Amino acid sequence: MEIDKSSKSKEESIPEKRITSPAYLAKVLQERGLSPRRAQGQHFLVDDNIQGKILRAAALEETDLVLDIGAGPGALALAMAEKTAGVIAIEQDGGLVELLKDQTALRGIERLQIVKGDVRRLNLPEICRELFGCEFNHEEENPSNKPPSVKVVANLPYYLTTPLLFQLLQGALPLKLLVIMVQLEAARRMTAEAGQKDYGLLSILCRYYTIPRLLFKVPRNVFYPPPAVDSAVVLLDVLPRPAVTVASEDLFWQIAKTAFQKRRKTILNALDGTLGLGKDILGELLEKAEIDPKRRGETLFLEEFAKLAEILYNYN
């Protein structure tokens, strides 16, 4: 992309061109008549130390393909592009897309592809295939055809955290790990264990597909503009296969979702009527699964949900 001379001379007069510099970011946004939209969760990282900690946690390699979802002006995407096989930056805001394109050209970066759109409506495997020629249906016995591992490194739009994680973890991409910045409350739900107050369906999702770890908290003042809540960075190390084996994933998720939608009820009362089984039969099956019918769903471990799903699946 060509940069006109007047724009270039303005850039050259600024000693600090880091997109994580608050002064520089404010300047380039102002030049384009842009301002962060809080309603869309636009809070941009402006701290090199936090960025460095995120990148170190991602342990980027030259063979990695990286997705940056909600890339904004590109603090993470620009830094990752020359360390990997390629970075795909996904951003819905058209003004920020153009800004990121200009920043990419300014720095002469070649391995950064920018996609405009709502990630919830994008076919991510197809995008990776089109932009980098990746095929994800390779035969495992032919390692020469093995595609690059896919990592997600992003400051996720906080209001989309849960649906995005379901989309990513249950999708077709061969994910290796996710290093994501989320709202602190969401980070606690992602990493909570059975019986803890933050334990819920998001906890089950993350423990089913990954080993979740809350790496560190992030203060509000490292964003422009500062959000109203604190944040945290979570690492999700994707398992080669789900942590538990179930005959029917649909039934497993139906049980888990019902248990947490009715978390004030006992597991017996929560499941009553949802599976076409009466309380008497449900009570017997719960006892067969060695689960006290009077327990609440929020106290059940992942393995107990799996065991119950198997017993219900095999019930005739």
Q: Residue 310: its pLDDT value, please?
A: 96
Q: Are residues 21 and 66 in the same domain?
A: yes
Q: Are residues 113 and 200 in the same domain?
A: yes
- What is the mean pLDDT of the segment spanning 2-14? 38
What lies within 8 Å, CB to CB, of 247 at 6+ separation is 309, 310, 313, 314
- What is the mean pLDDT of the segment spanning 217-243? 96
pLDDT digits (tens, 9 = 90+) for 159-199: 899 999 999 999 999 999 999 999 999 999 999 999 899 99
What lies within 8 Å, CB to CB, of 130 at 6+ separation is none
pLDDT confidence band for 146 (50 / 70 / 90): low
Structural domain ending residue among the three candidates 212, 238, 264: 238
pLDDT digits (tens, 9 = 90+) for 82-100: 889 999 999 999 999 999 9
Give the CATH number for residue 152: 3.40.50.150
> Which of 294, 227, 304, 289 lies closest to 267, judged by CA?
294
Domain count, the chain: 2
- What is the mean pLDDT of the segment spanning 18-42? 90
Q: Are residues 120 and 216 in the same domain?
A: yes
Domain assignment present for 244: no
**pTM of the entire structure?**
0.90
**Separation between Cα atoms, residue 314 and residue 45, nearest integer Å:** 50
- What is the mean pLDDT of the segment spanning 145-168? 88
